[in-house]
Structure 1
Amino acid sequence: MDFELSENLSETDNILIAANLMDFQLKLTVFDDLYDKLKLFLEILNHRRLRYKTISVSEENGFELINIKNQK
Structure 2
Amino acid sequence: MPRGSTPSRINKIHCQACPLTGITSGEIGTLAPGAHADLLVVDGDPLTDLAVLTRPERHLRHVVKAGAVL
TM-score (norm: length of structure 2): 0.30
TM-score, normalised to structure 1's length? Answer: 0.29
Point out the structure with the larger helix share: 1
* Structure of larger gyration radius: 1
